[in-house]
Structure 1
Amino acid sequence: MKIENNVATKALLEIDHNIDELVKQIELLSYVNPTNIEEEKERFFASKYLTDPVFKYPNINFDRFKLHRKLFENDLEIIENESIRKLYEDIIYQYSGLIQCIETIGSGKKFYYNCLHCFGTPTEQDVENAKFILHFEEEEKKEGIFEPKYSSEDAKVFFKEYSKQYDFDYNIEQSDKISAIAMVLNNIQTLVLNSNYVYSDNEIAVLTHHEIGVHMVTTFNGVLHPLKIFSHGFPNNEETQEGLAVFAEYMSNNLTVKRLKELAYRVIAVDSLAKGYTFSKTFRLLHNQYDLDRETAFFITLRVHRGGGFTKDYLYLTGLKKIYDYYHQGKDLSLLLTGKVTLEYADEIESLISKGLAINAKHITDAYAENINTNKTVDFILKSLK
């Protein structure tokens, strides 16, 4: 469908272009991962889990005040369509919030409060859902699928082989300065693997579907639209994107109770922030009370406490439940693969497609072709979440 060629559309495209040029510089994950994780982990373990780590972070390479000012200089009043105008207002506020997050990384409470504004914090129901999941027994370690086997160099081979089914190319890098075992950097179309980690068969299966099957798919779908908001991200898109990614694990029969419990522990850890827990206290909660091994407890605690209190991690579970329900209502998942979009803006996405300002998803998550999940316990848990 052709774009409506009128003054209002040209004005919208110009505003979209302006915002796109500005927010290309904002990749929160590039700044919030400490540069001295391994050193501080050793120091923390040596202290018998009593001395909080002191993390260092990458330097910020943009003018934060100038970026704020230029975002708000966009004259949104000239966008005639009310719902589209409201969408762009939400976008500008969202990215202003992310800039504030970045500029306060490492400042403790300031960063935490900015994260609350951007990502929120678990509700009592979210915490109850997490505790419900923790009652279930993990799968037996049959056939060694959870056994660590593969270096990041080995994992790279699996990712390249899996990606042959998709019509896009991306970079793969390795780093010892990330808190996740793998992550996608959207703005530079790069998959980063944790060079210190040893991956199991299950983790390789999970990550190929999660990182490539969804995060890379939405990255490359996002750049195809006339409107670049699909690429740099709708407001609050993290919950939908992570929900889609974990749902791909489910559809491909790779989502386990063990993995769900990992997501539940993240909710518990984020909730500990709201209770004022320090790094060491959150760690001891996971390690002593919940009996997590110290490596797992450390990295879940790190993910949540990095920057001063990064609350995003509870959204994996809430996002999964929303996408699970959306799918079982018979709705079209491909609409949510059009880019870095948010489920709550589904009507706006359809409207933009009808106006020729967006297109249908070109790349489709392979796991979504057929539900091959056979884990009845996982199904029972997901149906039961409130």
Structure 2
Amino acid sequence: MNAVNSSTKALLKIDNRIDELVKKIELLSYVNPTNIETEKEKFFSSKYLTDPVFTYPSINFDRFKLHRELFAQPIEQIEDLEIRQLYEDIIYAYSGLIACIETIGEGKKFYYNSLHSFGTPTEADVENAKFILHFKGEDAHDEQFLPKYRTEETQEKFREYSTRYDFSYHIKLSDKMSAIAMVLNNIQTLVINKNHVFSENEIEVLTNHEIGVHMVTAINGMLHPLKIFSHGFPNYEETQEGLAVFSEYMSNNLTVNRLKELAYRVIAVDGLAKGYSFSRTFRELHNQYDLDRETAFYITLRAHRGGGFTKDYLYLSGLKKVYNYYKQGKDLKLLLTGKISLSYLNSIASLHDKGLSVPAKHITDSYLQNKNSNKTIEYILDNLK
């Protein structure tokens, strides 16, 4: 028993130390350019020929020291082999993210580190994207898609939606982001793009996506004895984004247009592997796929920021995996316990058996009942490879 106790003590100590170290590694805080709007204007003025030159926030931690301290953790003191392997994977995963951060803006160097951390679309992913693009989207002039809510009203809508959850969080405004809203897990903060005017549909999508999943799992993750649930299992991004888009589906807010947006992201990330420049990716989306230039610019920006950020293809593959999981009648609550990955469910079950994890306290509101009434969406999801 003493051996078990000492092993558990060692595990908790290592987990706490890793948590202290990785709190500094919020990749999205560093990979979003600080001069998006000015570079966009220059790019449009150049008739889409001159690639933007982006600048990025400075890094406020010692990268070498962080690598060294991560690998100095005495994981051999963890006697349970499965849990020891998990923490070895965790250390390698976070070291990979540090490598991403330290090479932001360095072209191919960042791209290869991004590949290592997030992978790249498979042939099936690209085929799924092209399959989706064959479907006719909703009329963009429908009332629900028209820009309507400015920052103050948008904040109010988020606050109103959040009353269904028993937790609080911070809201911050930013004009230096490629997304229109995002959650920073480590400080439980929703960041809203103050340059954007939000439509009714965007509000519905983002409340369910950002608060209903990203914030729910961030808060749930903090309730475990182990901090790994809040700072994230290896490769958790695919499961997280899949859960978040799945919440849009369950709340009847997932549209063909939204699926097409996720498909365009796959196409843009696939272009990185082909060596496409920013301007070539943009022209493919704008000319070949007939996307308006603002949308084409931001999808291209998301893929090319940092030097080639491959994470964006994971939304579609994650959605398909979570949708299949749901269709198999499996328990979605397990996936809400924190920033977890489908590929580590056995390890999570093992942690639960040992009293090192707890059930999800907060449950995504849309998961309680499937309200999707869109047969086209159903057909698409059922037929993705």
Distance (Å, rounded) in 1 between the aligned partners of 2:90 and 2:142: 47
- 1:152: Cα distance to partner? 2.0
Q: Which amino acid aligns with 2:164?
A: Q
Secondary structure, in 3 states, of the residue corresponding to 1:363? coil
1:165, distance to aligned residue in structure 2 (A): 1.0
- Output the CA distance in 2 between the equivalents of 1:125 and 1:336: 24
Counterpart of 1:119 in structure 2: which amino acid? F
For residues 18 and 275 of structure 1, the distance between their equivalents in structure 2, rounded to whole angstroms, comes to 40
Residue aligned with 2:106, SS: coil
CA shift at 1:151, angstroms?
Answer: 1.1
Partner amino acid, structure 2, of 1:280: S
Letter of the 2:106 partner, please give it: S
Cα drift, residue 72 of structure 1: 0.3
User: What is the 5 A alignment of 1:246-261?
Assistant: 246-261=245-260
- Superposition pairs of residues 15-34 of structure 1, within 5 angstroms: 15-34=14-33
Q: CA deviation at 1:141?
A: 4.8
Q: Where do residues 258-269 of structure 1 align in structure 2 (5 Å cutoff)?
A: 258-269=257-268
Alignment pair present for 1:336 and 2:354: no
- Give SS of 1:192's match: strand
State the secondary structure of the residue aligned to 1:6.
helix
Tell me the equivalent position of 2:324: 325
The CA deviation string for residues 131-190 of structure 1, in whole angstroms up to 9 with x for no partner, is 000000012357511111111221101000000111111111111100001000001110
Q: Cα distance, 1:194 vs. partner?
A: 0.6
The residue number in structure 2 matching 1:191 is 190
Aligned counterparts, 1:162-173, within 5 A: 162-173=161-172
Query: SS in structure 2 opposite 1:48?
Result: coil
Task: Output the amino acid matched with 1:384.
Answer: N
Deviations 1:23-50 (CA, angstroms, capped at 9, x unpaired): 0110000000000000000000000000
Deviation at 1:218, TM superposition (A): 0.4
Provide the residue aligned with 1:211 in structure 2: 210
Q: Residues of 2 paired with 1:173 and 1:153: CA distance? A: 11
CA distance, structure 2, for counterparts of residue 136 and residue 255 of structure 1: 14
Task: Choose 12-21 or 346-355, whichever is displaced more.
Answer: 346-355
| Structure 1 counterpart of 2:108, one-letter code | K
Written as runs of structure 1 = structure 2, the 5 A alignment for 1:148-297 is 148-297=147-296
In structure 2, C-alpha distance between the alignment counterparts of 1:195 and 1:46, rounded to whole Å: 24
Residues 309 and 148 (structure 1 numbering): CA distance in 2 closer, same or farther, change over 3 Å?
A: same
Render the CA deviation track for 1:295-321: whole Å, top value 9, x for unaligned.
000000000000000000000000000
Deviant stretches of 4+, over 6 Å: none
Once residues 170 and 319 of structure 1 are traced to their aligned partners in structure 2, the CA distance between those partners, rounded to angstroms, is: 26
Gaps spanning 5+ residues in structure 1: where?
none
Post-superposition CA distance 1:60-107 (Å, at most 9, x none): 000000000000000111111111111101000000000000000000
Whole-Å Cα distance in 2 between the matches of residues 185 and 385 of structure 1? 30
Match of 2:84 in 1: 85
Distance 2:147 2:350 in 1: 47
Q: 1:6 to 1:366 in 2, by over 3 A?
A: same
Per-residue Cα deviation, 1:343-370 (whole angstroms, up to 9, x for no partner): 1111111211121101000000000000
Q: Secondary structure at the match of 2:51?
A: coil
Alpha-carbon distance between aligned partners in 2 of 1:14 and 1:143, rounded to the nearest angstrom: 55
Shift of 1:193: 0.5
- TM-score with structure 1 length normalisation? 0.98
Q: Distance in 2 between matches of 1:367 and 1:139?
A: 22
| 2:374 is the alignment partner of 1:375 | yes
Distance of aligned partners of 1:141 and 1:289 in 2 relative to their CA distance in 1, 3 Å threshold = closer
Distance 1:302 1:139 in 2: 24
Deviates more, 1:298-307 or 1:78-87: 78-87
Match status 1:62 vs 2:84: no
Match of 1:49 in 2: 48
Return the alpha-carbon distance in structure 2 between the equivalents of residues 152 and 334 of structure 1: 32
CA distance in structure 2 between the aligned counterparts of 1:141 and 1:29, rounded to whole angstroms: 29
Query: Relative to 1, partners in 2 of residues 1:86 and 1:5: Cα closer, same or farther, differing over 3 Å?
Result: closer
Distance 1:153 1:47 in 2: 34
Aligned to 2:70: 71
Task: Please give the alpha-carbon distance, in whole angstroms, between the structure 1 residues aligned to 2:55 and 2:108.
Answer: 16
What amino acid is aligned across from residue 57 of structure 1 in structure 2?
Y
Which residue pairs with 1:138 in the alignment? 137
For the residue of structure 1 that corresponds to 2:163, the secondary structure is helix
Question: Aligned equivalents of 2:368 and 2:348: distance in 1?
Answer: 22
Question: Structure 2: how far apart are the matches of 1:65 and 1:95?
Answer: 13
Give the aligned partner of residue 12 of structure 1. 11
Corresponding position of 2:113:
114
**Which residue does 2:308 correspond to in 1?**
309
Cα distance in 1, alignment partners of residues 381 and 247 from structure 2:
14
Q: What is residue 360 of structure 1 aligned with on the other side?
A: 359
Measure, in 1, the Cα distance between the counterparts of 2:14 and 2:324. 35
Tell me the SS of whatever aligns to 2:145: coil
